[in-house]
Amino acid sequence: MSKDRVLVARNIVKELGRGAGMVQALKGVDIELVKGELTLLMGPSGSGKTTLLSILGCIMTPTSGTLSVDGASTDELGPEDLAHIRRDHMGFIFQSYNLFPTLTALENVRIALDVRGTHGFKAASRSEEVLRQVGLGHRLMNYPSNLSGGEQQRVAVARAIASSPAIVLADEPTAALDSENGHAVMALLAKIAHEQNRSVLAVTHDPRTLAYADRVVRIEDGLIVGEDRRPEGLDAPEVTDLTKRRKAHA
């Protein structure tokens, strides 16, 4: 199993603010992400889940602790090196999609490849390919303003997976979506994890997402307080809650 670990975080501490206003958002978190698995990071507001996601995504640096991505330590790396790691190993999906309003769906995916050094026809055909994978082959030339919320999030998913990253990090991917679109996006993330053998971590507090998880990590007050794993033999999305599934399995 250890060879499938793509991200390992050990004793992550993050302090925000200074002096009397300083808050310890993370108080020593250990977490690993492995290939082929959809992990949900759940917790109440202010529990530190977004801070942890930022650190795991090399967007924020921890106050202390170690993080390694694909076996390489990120300690002591500067902003440009961290950007390089994000570029090479990660794809991001944001709660509010963060699409470029002036670019078409195809161009929104292409730009993610462009920053990674893939240009021209190769980038265009790959972008089209992933947009077709997420069911948007008929919306290539549409601007975000002409797409529904669910479609925009699927463009964001396509953008995240276009460069075939080992890790996909999603921040509340279903928060802005209705039930149908929320399920569609989660099914897509599960498919990406399982069929493309990627590690997907989604921060969420949406119970609808539980059905798709291989693993649920719970965080409270900056500490990991529990972890549930999908019992063997149960396939998503037939059940909607891990707790129920565990009971059913027992």
Q: Which of 12, 42, 53, 105 binds other proteins (CB under 8 A)?
A: 53
Is residue 84 within the footprint of other proteins (CB under 8 A)? yes
Residues 112-131: x where in contact with other proteins by CB under 8 A, - otherwise, as a string:
x-xxx--x---x--------
Of 9, 56, 105, 107, which one interacts with other proteins (CB under 8 A)? Answer: 107
In sequence order, the 6+-apart residues with CB closer than 8 A to the CB of 9 are 29, 30, 31, 32, 52, 55, 56, 65, 66, 67
> Beta-strand (E) ranges in the chain?
5-16, 23-34, 37-42, 64-69, 72-73, 90-93, 167-171, 199-204, 215-220, 223-229
What's the burial of 83, exposed, middle or buried (CB within 10 Å: 0-12/13-18/19+)? middle
Contact yes or no for 93/121 (Cβ under 8 A) = no
Least separation, in Å, of the C-beta of 205 and other proteins? Answer: 14
Smallest separation, CB 208 to other proteins (Å): 21
Residue (127 or 242) nearer to other proteins, CB:
127
- From candidates 77, 103, 187, 223, binder to other proteins by CB under 8 A: 103
Q: Tell me the number of residues near other proteins by CB under 8 A.
A: 35
Closest separation between CB of residue 99 and other proteins, Å?
A: 8
The 10 Å CB-count burial string (b at 16+, else e) for 17-37 is eeeeeeeebbeebebbbbbeb
Chain residues that interact with other proteins, rule: CB under 8 A: 50, 53-54, 57, 59-60, 79-80, 83-88, 90, 92, 94-96, 98, 100-103, 107, 110-112, 114-116, 119, 123, 159, 171
